[in-house]
Structure 1
Amino acid sequence: MEVAVTGALLLLWVLFFFIFSSLKMYKKKSQLPPGPTPWFLLGNLLQKDVLPVSKNVSKLMDKWGPIFTVWMGPKPMVVLCGYEVVKDALLDHAEEFGGRPTLPFFQTVNNGCKGLSCSTEKKWRELRRFTLTTLRDFGMGKKTMSKRVQEEALCLVEAMATTKGQLFDVRKYIRIAVSNVLCSVVFGSRFDYKDQVLLEKLRIMESFVSYLVSYTGQIYNVFPKIMPYLPGQHKKILGDFETLHAYINKSVESHRETLDYQDPRDYIDCFLMKSEKEQTNHEAIYSQEELIICVQELFIAGSLSTSEFLTHALLVMARLPHIQEKVQREIDEVVGANRIPGMEDRVGMPYTNAVLHEIQRYDKGSIESFPRETTCPTKFRGYLIPQGTTICSDMASVHFDPLQWENPEEFNPGHFLDEKGQFRNRVAFMPFSAGKRACPGEALARMELFLFFGALLQNFTFQLIGDAKDKDIFTLYEDSGLKPGDLPLKFIRRSI
């Protein structure tokens, strides 16, 4: 009798929980922009015609308009599409859409709410301001940094030239080259192209980003209390990050022992000096743990995204040889053979600059890697979006907005050229996002893209191999994105 009563009470509690959760979820739904009907607890997670948003955004926009809601389990996410809507949110309502939601897997990896992507407004503002100032002090956006990138570009060209036509993992070497630019600023030194320590660190970061944007990563963020008890890739990644944190910590300790207050060598030195000045601050923003996470995030953001773009750029050049030839002709005319391209050449190379911008625009999978969050109840285009709502801007819908681009589905560098053939900026070009949470490394990334791309096209001609010759650019982008394995590329040394 007692067992039956206990069972009945348990059943009633479960039933109450389901009814209460369901009412709570559908009350939220009534306050949000329209969207696909979510399933109880699971939201739209199992609905392949909804998620991932980047693959379904066109039909979702057609049905629900440029502002719609999808459900990541029981949590809503408002998706913004098209230039006017995204610009209105990120620029015209920058403060209201300037928060950062908590991503449980990211917090687990970061040992809590730490680093440049933390959701705590005061800490984020302080760390971002310090990081931008320090990077500028070490040359970001200046001639000194341009020289560093040029030197690394020469190292990359020489490393590729030594292969003499043998099989060669271009992507691996590009990642090391891009990482070395950041290493020189953060650690004060660079790594050899065959350094296994750096290669392992890059592998860890690549695995993390791949998991974070994957379906399984989304499941982790929806059900963070369950996932730690289940087997899966997340266990390996978390173990790898313990190793990565230990490595960065060792470097920090080495810097601390050799720190010269009169001559700081790099970002770590500057952070340690700032930490000592802030010792009396009870909030401890400049702790050693924060430093480790900031260094980690700088590498993830500054190494993988830039190297992935350069990978895409080489694939596009191989797929469109007539455009590759035109870029090379411009490089030969403006730069010649006795030096590699510099930032001062960009004005005189409008076509090359336009090609780089068009390659970025043409990435249909581009959706903000880290979503935003409303910082207060926000009136926006006829909706009252509650405070703390996750916001995701679909940048592909901005870059393919037919109201902003002539024939957006066509790959055409002319999108960034005026009638005289000179480069023109476009307001609807937002590859680094916009507003207060825009990428802090944009200036460095733009510099790296132009200088590495220019040096590679000056010295090599790229060709597709195998069945890749018949694939369209979208497929080439998708096939190469953060996946192991060699690129379907071969390259031939040019005689200039």
Structure 2
Amino acid sequence: MLGILIALLTCLLMLHFLRQHWSHRSYPPGPLRLPIIGSIWRIGVKVHKDTLIELAKQYGSISMLWLGQMPIVVLSGYEAVKEGLINHSEDFAERLSTPFLKAVGQEWGIAFSNGHTWKQQRRFGITTMRKLGLGKKGMEPQIEEEAHQLVEAFALEKGQPFDPAMPISNSIANVICALAFGQRFPVEDKEFIKLIEISDHLTKFLNSSSHILYELFPWIVKHHPGPYKKAISKVEAMLTFARNEINKHKEHHAVHEPLDFIDFYLLQMNKSKNDPNSTFNEENLSYCIFDFFVAGTETTALTLRWALLLMANHPDIQEKVHKEIEDVLGSSQEFHYQDQKKLPYTKAVIHEIMRFKYISLFGFPRQCSQVVNMRGFLIPKGTVIIADLRSALLDPKQWETPEEFNPNHFLDKGGNFVEREAFLPFGAGTRVCLGEQMARVELFIFFANLLRAFTFQLPEGVKELNTDPIVGGSVAPRPYKLCAVPRSSSS
């Protein structure tokens, strides 16, 4: 009798499997989908930097994974990524709703919200970022000030080996503080130190296995003490910090002279107070500030850390950058973001750093808002969409030497800078990075100031810094030390 039941159960499972396989025949190809776990087994326990690229080699530029019952479509290579993010921009505009995002308030802010809230908050964010943009009355002077502060911090090391990670993070975080609050904080300020610690903790949690476990099994994990509870408390701590700053601005609100994001937002709240469809309120403002820190601090800081590592490993490229800056701008002249037009090689090196050591593994996944037919494949509504930007930046069809650090990717034969369509580190379409322009300004001003002031050398006895990354949600350099030797011309 038991044998009959086992045989019957086996037959039913086989029939279910065959029916499922037949019903999904129009879906993109992918690994075998197993009961309960789906096809995520193909990725394995430990994700590495080329996991999605290897998946594309086997299944093509559009492939499908299953995380249990959740379908995930991966777009790989420049053409597929471009088609997904631009041609299907509206179809793939929704953010994925996950247990952790729901727990911390996904319906608020810009980066993770959807629908009317997202559209209204993002539109305001774009307008305000432009108002706080470049030039003497914009964010550029604050970025220049932070670059000078970072140069001074490096100079204190007196050419001895040191880890540049913390000074870089402090400077980038202070740029966000200037954007949101209109001021910078001394690095010894207790509240600023707390803010940095919160941001660092959240970054580590989002890149950890604890975060993955919470997203997969929230009904189990949430009933037991663990890292996720501490992460949620850190989110609340950052929101409290933002709310305190908002209250300070309300007390000294300059209606006619808004100086930072909070000022502009409070002005918009006042303008919209009689609009029943308005989403402008203090809670959304708090979450917008949270988004700036989460999305704008680690990304730029990691890129700068990769930049210095690569310069130490490639002294010939470093010297070319320094020589171009000296030849074009001189040693004493102040320079600004618009000067990048005169520095094609420096600009090419910065672009190549972002391409070669792109710091995001999966980016921010999206969700399909309706059934989409793409390249003959059916993508069902609710499917998670991962546009693998890294695969576009390493696409052998688009780059001459994709696996090499080669600034010539962005230079023509005459040494002039060349824009490349496949250069998509900030994404594309309706969800393109809100802070793209500011990030570009930060990277140029910080990088150029540091390369003008120092020669970055390997510590004695070190032949090369390790370029093998630490892979989580981000692709970070391993902790390293280098020597920032002051250049005589910059003294």
Query: What is the TM-score with the length of structure 1 in the denominator?
Result: 0.88
Is the 1:372–1:392 contact (alpha carbons within 8 Å) kept by the matching residues of 2? yes
1:267-286 pair list within 5 angstroms: 267-283=261-277, 285-286=279-280
Shift of 1:65: 0.7
Question: Relative to 1, partners in 2 of residues 1:334 and 1:82: Cα closer, same or farther, differing over 3 Å?
Answer: same
Q: Which letter maps to 2:158?
A: K
Tell me whether 1:495 sits opposite 2:461 in the alignment. no
Of 53, 57, 80 in structure 2, the residue corresponding to residue 58 of structure 1 is 53
Query: Given the alignment, which residue of 364, 367, 370 partners 1:373?
Result: 367
| Deviation (angstroms), 1:33 | 0.9
Q: 2:321 aligns with which of 304, 320, 327?
A: 327
Query: How far apart are the structure 2 equivalents of 1:488 and 1:28?
Result: 55
Distance 1:306 1:424 in 2: 22
Matching residue within 282, 291, 297 for 1:288: 282
The residue type paired with residue 182 of structure 1 is I
How far is 1:411 from its partner?
Answer: 1.4
1:414-425 matched pairs, under 5 angstroms: 414-425=408-419
Q: Is the 8 A contact 1:398 1:428 kept in 2?
A: yes
The residue aligned with 1:80 is: 75
Return the alpha-carbon distance in structure 2 between the equivalents of residues 91 and 479 of structure 1. Answer: 27
Cα deviation, 1:180-235, whole Å, max 9, x if unaligned, reads 22212210111112334223322322332333244432332233332212343212
Query: Does 1:432 find its partner at 2:426?
Result: yes
Contact 1:178–1:303 (Cα < 8 Å) also in 2? yes
Question: How far did 1:123 drift?
Answer: 1.2
Equivalent position of 1:114 in the other structure? 108
Number of matched residues? 480
User: Which residue identity is paired with 2:413?
Assistant: E
Change (3 A) 1:172 1:102: same
What are the residue-to-residue correspondences of 1:190-339 with 2, within 5 Å?
190-283=184-277, 285-339=279-333
Residue 87 of structure 2 is aligned to residue 98 of structure 1: no
How far apart are 1:337 and its partner, in Å? 1.4
Q: Please give the secondary structure, in 2, of the residue aligned with 1:144.
A: coil
* 2:404 alignment partner in structure 1: 410
Bigger drift between 365-374 and 237-246 goes to 365-374
Matched letter for residue 403 of structure 1: K
Aligned partners of 2:92 and 2:367 also within 8 Å? yes
User: Alpha carbons of 1:248 and 1:495: their partners in 2 closer, same or farther (altered >3 Å)?
Assistant: same
Could you tell me how far apart the structure 1 residues matched to 2:326 and 2:483 are?
Answer: 21
Question: Contact 1:146/1:447 (CA < 8 Å) preserved in 2?
Answer: yes
- Counting only pairs closer than 5 Å after superposition, residues 481-492 of structure 1 correspond to structure 2 as 487-492=480-485
Distance 2:187 2:414 in 1: 42
Q: Distance in 1 between matches of 2:475 and 2:87?
A: 33
Partner of 2:441: 447
Contact 1:101/1:119, CA 8 A, preserved across alignment: no
AA of the residue aligned to 1:254? K
Q: Which amino acid aligns with 1:98?
A: A
Cα distance change, pair 441–355 in 1 and its aligned pair in 2 (3 A): same
Q: Which residue of 1 aligns with 2:5?
A: none
Q: CA deviation at 1:50?
A: 8.2
Secondary structure at the counterpart of residue 252 of structure 1: helix
SS of the equivalent of 2:222 reads helix
Which residue does the alignment assign to 1:5? none
CA distance in 1, matches of 2:488, 2:23: 64
Deviates more, 1:239-248 or 1:53-62: 53-62
Q: CA deviation at 1:154?
A: 1.2
Contact 1:351–1:423, Cα closer than 8 Å, also in 2:
yes
- In 1, the alpha carbon distance for the partners of 2:326 and 2:169 equals 26
Matching of residue 33 in structure 1 with residue 28 in structure 2: yes
* Aligned-partner Cα distance in 1 for 2:419–2:143: 24
- The CA distance in 1 between the partners of 2:359 and 2:171, in whole Å, is 25
Determine whether 1:182 maps to 2:176: yes
1:151 correspondence with 2:169: no
Distance in 2 (CA, whole Å) between partners of 1:300 and 1:42 is: 30
- Cα deviation for residue 44 of structure 1 reads 3.9
Deviation digits for residues 415-461 of structure 1, max 9, x if unmatched?
Answer: 00001001000000000011110101101100110110000010011
Equivalent of 1:69 in 58, 64, 74: 64
Q: Which amino acid aligns with 2:154?
A: M
Corresponding residue SS for 2:139: helix
Q: Is the 8 A contact 1:68 1:80 kept in 2?
A: yes
Deviation at 1:392, TM superposition (A): 0.3
Give 3-state SS (helix, strand or coil) of 2:287's partner. Answer: helix
Q: In structure 1, which of residues 362, 374, 392 is the aligned counterpart of residue 356 of structure 2?
A: 362
Which has the higher mean CA deviation after the structures are superposed, 460-469 or 211-220? 460-469
1:153 Cα deviation from its structure 2 partner:
1.1
Structure 1 residue 477: Cα displacement:
6.9
Post-superposition offset of 1:305? 0.6
Residue 53 of structure 1 deviates from its aligned partner by 7.1
Moved more, 412-421 or 399-408: 399-408
Which residue pairs with 1:4 in the alignment?
A: none
Q: Give the counterpart letter for 1:339 in structure 2.
A: Q
Question: Which stretch of structure 1 is more off in the superposition, 134-143 or 20-29?
Answer: 20-29
User: How far has the Cα of 1:391 moved from its partner?
Assistant: 0.4
**C-alpha distance in structure 1 between counterparts of 2:476 and 2:410, whole Å:** 30
Distance 1:401 1:483 in 2: 21
- Sequence identity, in percent? 37
Give the distance between the partners of 1:248 and 1:299, measured in 2 at CA. Answer: 11
Residue of structure 2 equivalent to 1:129: 123
Asked if the contact 1:54–1:394 (Cα under 8 Å) also holds between the matched residues in 2, the reply is no
Q: In 2 relative to 1, CA 471–487 (structure 1 residues): closer, same or farther, beyond 3 Å?
A: closer
1:117 maps to amino acid: A
User: What is the letter of the counterpart of residue 218 of structure 1?
Assistant: I
What amino acid is the match of 1:398? A
Q: Secondary structure at the match of 1:444?
A: helix
What's the C-alpha RMSD, in Å, of the aligned pairs?
Answer: 3.0
Q: 1:47 to 1:342 in 2, by over 3 A?
A: same
Taking the aligned partners of 1:167 and 1:456, their CA distance within structure 2 comes to 16
Q: Is the 8 A contact 2:369 2:382 kept in 1?
A: yes
For residue 384 of structure 1, give the secondary structure of its aligned residue in structure 2: strand
| Distance (whole Å) between structure 2 residues aligned to residue 314 and residue 205 of structure 1 | 22
